[in-house]
Structure 1
Amino acid sequence: MFHKEGAQSILIGTVFTAVALLLTDKFIDIYWLRMTIQIIAFALLIIILQFFRNPSRNVIINKNEILAPVDGKVVVIEEVYESEYFKDKRIQVSIFMSPINVHVTRYGLSGLVKFSKYHPGKFLVAWHPKASEENERTTIVIENKNFGEVLYRQIAGALARRIVNYAKEGMQVVQGEDAGFIKFGSRVDIFLPLGTPLNVVLNQKAIGGKTIIATKSE
């Protein structure tokens, strides 16, 4: 299964590969050159297909858990001052996605979208300390009965040049459902209320819609 955001890229890649095969077979007689071009064309198509894959995830909805919104590695767990929306201290959990990770963004919890804003910006490497505030990004806040307001931020990286965000203010969203897409390497920051019990540690591999980031008893 592939994500709908990749439809155009997959179509272009398929057409390019088909044309490359036809033209090289017809006009290039040198075997090694013909095979090299065909292998490169196939490799590019495979990369495109791999990047836009959208594996089916059987998400078990749990109102007492916040799930990882994306696949990747936990690279930040710290107390920070969140200056855009809360304007107070929060626990920040950041997940870095390499180009080989699944780049679908999923809602980590169910609730009401209270805030959704796009910010143009720079394209610093996603792990840069200032990427969360200076890079192109979207900020989304979901209000949940158990956790209160939880903010997550999609951040573009040095390669990511397009962020897709489906969250609109006033929407009711469901944990685990498709929330958007980030093209190429990037990261997602999650800002939780202080004192929220965490279930992840630094450098842990996270799986979107599966890995439990935090829990809270009723």
Structure 2
Amino acid sequence: MFHKEGGKIILISTTLTVIFLLLADKFIHLEWLRMTVMLVILFFLIMILQFFRNPKREVNITDEQIIAPVDGKVVVIEEVFESEYFKDQRLQVSIFMSPINVHVTRYPVNGKVKFSKYHPGKYLVAWHPKASTENERTTVVVENRIFGEILYRQIAGALAKRIVNYAEEGMHVVQGTDAGFIKFGSRVDLFLPIGTKVEVKLNQKAVGGKTIIAIKY
């Protein structure tokens, strides 16, 4: 199943692929060259299709834990000063997504959206230390009855040129449901209350909607 954000791109890419394959078959007479061109064209179509895939996952919905909002690798676990919303010390957990990861963003907790803001910005590589504050990004805060306010930030990478965010202030959201999409390489930062027990380790692979990021002491 594919994400709705990829509908237009998939339609255009599929149409162009068919056209290019027909042209290659008609105008390229060397068989080895024709096959090479066709394989390259099909490879790019497959890459686009896999990027916009949206696997359905059974989520264990509970207020007792925070789940991974995206697929990827855990690249940051540290205490930092969060300057946009909380303006105090928070525990940051960051997940980096490569272009081959599923790029659907899912709500990490149940609760009410207290804050949602889009920031235009640069397109530094997603693992750059300043990407969290200088790249194109969205900041969303969800208030959960167990953890209090949880902030997650979608961050564009060097390839990402559009962030889709469905969270609107006042909405009541369900853990694990679709919260948005980031097109191509990117990162998501989570900012948790100090004292939250983190259940993941650096370089661990996270699966959106499944991996437990943290639990309450």
Q: TM-score, normalised by structure 2?
A: 0.98
Find the residue that maps to 1:112 and give its secondary structure.
Answer: strand
For residue 56 of structure 1, what is the aligned residue in structure 2?
56
Per-residue deviation, 1:27: 2.2
| 1:43 aligned partner | 43
Asked if 2 retains the 8 angstrom alpha-carbon contact of 1:20 and 1:37, the reply is no
Deviations 1:90-127 (A, max 9, x none): 00000000111110000010100000000000111101
Amino acid in the other structure paired with 2:75: V
Q: How many residues align?
A: 217
Q: Shift of residue 33 of structure 1? A: 2.0
User: What's the C-alpha RMSD, in Å, of the aligned pairs?
Assistant: 0.8
- 2: CA distance between counterparts of 1:19 and 1:194? 56
Pairing 1:16–2:16 present = yes
Q: Does 1:138 align with 2:115?
A: no
What SS does structure 1 have at the residue aligned with 2:40?
A: helix
In the alignment, residue 92 of structure 1 is paired with which amino acid? Answer: Q
1:142-153 matches, cutoff 5 A = 142-153=142-153
**1:99 matched to which residue of 2?**
99
Which contiguous aligned blocks of 4+ residues in structure 1 show a shift greater than 2 angstroms?
none
Deviations 1:28-70 (A, max 9, x none): 2221221122111111110000111111100110110100000
Partner Cα distance (2:127, 2:175) in 1: 26
* Aligned partner letter, 2:92: Q
Aligned-residue offset at 1:9: 1.1
- Separation of aligned partners in 2, 1:130 and 1:21: 43
Residue 161 of structure 1 aligns to a residue in which SS? coil
TM-score, normalised on structure 1? 0.98
Q: Which residue of 2 aligns with 1:30?
A: 30
Identity of aligned residues (%): 74
Gaps of 5+ in 2: none
